[in-house]
Structure formats: C-alpha cells, structure tokens
Amino acid sequence: MLTREENERLTRVGPGTPMGEMMRRYWQPALLSWELSEKDGAPIRVRLLGEDLIAFRDTNGRVGLVDAYCPHRRAPMFYGRNEECGLRCVYHGWKFDVDGKCVEVPSMPAGSPFMDKVRIKSYPTYEKAGVIFAYMGPPERKPAHPDYEWMRAPSTHRHVTKNYQACNYLQALEGGLDTSHSTFLHNNVMGNRNTMRNCDPSPQIDVYPTDYGYSYVSTRTVNEDLRYIRIYQYVMPFQQMRGDVTDDGGQRSKVPKIDGHLWVPIDDTQTFTWNWLYGVDESAEITPEFAETDEARAGRGKDDYIPGTFRLKRNPSNDHLIDRAIQKSRTYTGITGVGTQDSAVQEGMEPIVDRTKENLTWTDKAVITMRKMMLDATYAVERGEDPPGLDPVKHGRVRALDTVIKAGVDWRKELADQLATKW
C-alpha cells in the first residue's frame, strides 16, 4: 500500500512534477515514423508528458518537435506551413527550424538581431526502428540514444505498433509487470489445464535488481519433474520485455519471438501503449501476415481500431464489448483480445488508481519493487543525480525468454546462451 503522497508522486507526469522531471531524463517514444512519412508534409499534434507539441518532417527529412503555440502571439502551429526547412506560423509568417531557431520574421529586415532573441520551445529527436524518440529533459543531461535489442533487429524481423489507453500510465505498467494475472485474465481456453499459462495459478515470483531496472522470473509447476519459467526484463522507467518462445498448447505464436511494451504517458490520465515484437534470430522472420495475426490475437488487428485513430473499438464507452455468454462457457473474461483484456481492467479501475486502498500479496513483488525504484529515482533527480537505466550499454544487452526446464535446475546457468542478445 502506498501513501497518498507517494501515489501522487508516482502518477503525476506534467512539467515540474517529481515523476515528470524524472521521466524527462529518458528518451520518449513520441511517434511512429510513418505518421510523419512526407517531407514538408502536414504537421501533426503530439501530447507527451502533459505537454502539447507539434511534430513535422522538414525538407531534408529531419524531424522537429516544437511547442504547439507560436511564441509571437501564441497562434496554433498546427495550422503552420511546413516549407523550405522550417515550420511557418500562418498568423504572421514567423518561421522556425527543427531546432527551434527563428529563421524568418517577415516584418523584420533580413539579419535582424531580433530573430536571435526569439525561439520556439523544441526538443531533440532521434529516429530508429520505425520510431521517433524525443528527449524533453535538461540539454546538459541528455543521455546516449536508446539501443534496445528490438531496435537493432532488421525490419524483416521486427514489428512496432501503438494504441491508446484511457488511464494513467502506472496502472498499465503494473499490469504488464504482473505475471500471475495471466492464469485468469488471459484464460481463453477455460477448463484446459494443459497450457503453460493455466498449469499453475500461483507462480513463484523472483526479482533481481539490475543497473537498468530488474529482471524477474515466474516459475510454474508443470508436473513433478518440469517447471515452466518466464524471464522478464523491466527497463526504467516504463518498459517491459517478455519471452514468447515456447508454444503453449497452440495458444501462442509458432514463431519464436520476444515482445513487450512501453507505457508512455500522454498526460496524467491518458497513455499510449507501445507494442513491439521481434524474432529471436535470423530464422524467425516477422512477416506482415504473421504480425497482423499476432496483433489480432491481442485485439489490435487492423479492424480493431477506430479508423484514422489509435483508439480501439473495444473501449470503456462500450464496456470493451464484453460477451457474457462467452464468459460463461469459453473464456474467463468474455472480452476478445489479450491486450483488450488488459486494457479493460486497467481502464476500468479509475483514471488514476487510489493505491491507499490496496491489499497486496507476495505475487505483487514485481510491482512493489518497480514502485520503490521509481520513487527512489524521483528523489535521485531532485538531488541532482541521474536515474538508472540511461546507459544503452546496460539496457541494450538484455532479452527475455520463456521455456520449460527440469525441476531443481538453476535457470541462470542453464539458459545463459539463450538469454544472450543475438541482434
């Protein structure tokens, strides 16, 4: 259980808040590259960590991320003209480049020193693996670019999407780190105890702190001789990696892959869930057909989105289209899609959960550890220190795994080769 003050510290992400300032020390996924595919194309709105911004791709292909409002008279830059390596406000023609520099004020003579005094707020961007990242923290503390293994996998072996959730990022992150719920929430074959997910409703949870966050392991008893283990990685501040290698009675992918999420705050009560997956090696290609099948299984197929948005058709406004007849006979929830099942409970809690009312158990170990790390990181930043997990050398050489091993085997020794990154 958290105090009310701790809950506020963990959940509020706007400028000037402890968590907001801590999160701004990391590179944030801001956009999918295809959202800004056209040079000199239309700018788009971005809301990230409670700030309203505008993104555009200039004539040379560079991505700018600037304040949503012109510093002259606060006119909306969304209506701006993206032309000749800059975004021009349509109100009075002031023009800014991707670095926020004012490059033209039509009412001023060329070379006027006035333009050197005026800037629009801008944030550095970095583009790789089909994702545009932004750094929103102090320029002098900007870390090296992120380098997760999923970013290094070739495009033929990688797939990245995002979807909207109407809730605070923390309850979504907590859902991702909570492995014990899968026996219930994601039980889509009721009555079948032969799947790895259903074989043991009370897994043993072990957490191992690291320089980037922690690794954690769930161990389920298959029978007297065998154990199903799933090795996860939690990377500060809001990323989870999990193995999806072992076939689970036909319920899982036939392509050995690793997948995970980043729960990126739009603001205090809205989140973008970034979903990525990649093949474990060169033999595990992620074809477009496979990717669509996998996304549809999660409830994020092409037909699951409201057209033209990142919002799912199954959402709180329609109770995630729960089917009570199916819930009685076929699946534990009656909600279609593994990801939708997660969203349903996370969005249904409250926009921001009141954690003073919780009653936690030992199966919540991973969640409890994450909360402490996040709180400690906010205090570290307030002391002028860097939070953990910024170094790509540390976070870029870890991967997740799931497999079956013999009882009594030390998985750290037995699976070292399989846990080594390949990309």
Asked if the peptide bond before residue 124 counts as cis, ω within 30 degrees of 0, the response is no
SS3 87: strand
Give the model's pLDDT for residue 247.
63
Confidence grade of residue 185 (pLDDT, cut at 50, 70, 90): confident
SS3 192: coil
Taking 90 as the threshold, does the pLDDT of residue 56 lie above it? yes
| Residue 271 tokens, joined | 């989140």
Taking 90 as the threshold, does the pLDDT of residue 367 lie above it? yes
Q: Which residue(s) pair with 126 in the sheet? A: 133
User: Between 103 and 188, whose confidence is greater?
Assistant: 103
Look at strands 81-82 and 27-32 and give their pairing: unpaired
What does the pLDDT average to over 148-154? 98
The span from the CA of 418 to the CA of 423, in Å, is 12
Q: Which residues touch 421 (CB under 8 Å, ≥6 apart)? A: 149, 396, 397, 398, 399
Q: List the one residue out of 44, 27, 26 whose CA is nearest residue 35.
A: 44
Q: List the one residue out of 144, 145, 123, 143 whose CA is nearest residue 134.
A: 123
Sign of CA dihedral 379, 385, 391, 397: negative
Q: Which residue(s) pair with 231 in the sheet? A: 217, 401
Domains of the chain are: 37-126 (2.102.10.10), 149-419 (3.90.380.10)
SS3 204: strand
Q: Are 125 and 115 in contact (CB under 8 A)?
A: no
Give the model's pLDDT for residue 381.
98
With b meaning 16 or more CB within 10 Å and e meaning fewer, what string describes 175-213?
Answer: bbbbbbebbebbbbbeeeeebbbbbbeebbbebeebebb
Give the model's pLDDT for residue 196.
56
Taking 60 as the threshold, does the pLDDT of residue 250 lie above it? no
Taking 90 as the threshold, does the pLDDT of residue 186 lie above it? no
Q: What is the pTM for the complete model shown?
A: 0.93
Give the model's pLDDT for residue 191.
62
Give the model's pLDDT for residue 245.
75
Confidence grade of residue 168 (pLDDT, cut at 50, 70, 90): very high
Q: Which residues touch 223 (CB under 8 Å, ≥6 apart)? A: none
Q: What is the pLDDT of residues 340-361, one digit of tens each?
A: 999 999 999 999 999 999 999 8
Q: Which residue(s) pair with 264 in the sheet? A: 272
Q: Which residues touch 196 (CB under 8 Å, ≥6 apart)? A: 220, 222, 228, 246, 248, 249, 402, 404
Give the model's pLDDT for residue 299.
95
Which of 222-236, 244-258, 297-311 is the least confident region? 244-258
Give the model's pLDDT for residue 1.
79
Q: Classify burial at 347, counting beta carbons within 10 Å of its beta carbon; exposed 0-12, middle 13-18, buried 19 or more.
A: buried
Report which residue type is found at 174: E
Give the model's pLDDT for residue 193.
56
Taking 60 as the threshold, does the pLDDT of residue 389 lie above it? yes
Taking 90 as the threshold, does the pLDDT of residue 322 lie above it? yes
What does the pLDDT average to over 270-290? 96
Instruction: Give, in degrees to the nearest 5, the angle at Cα 270 between 130 and 119.
Output: 65
SS3 21: helix
Q: Are 258 and 245 in contact (CB under 8 A)?
A: yes
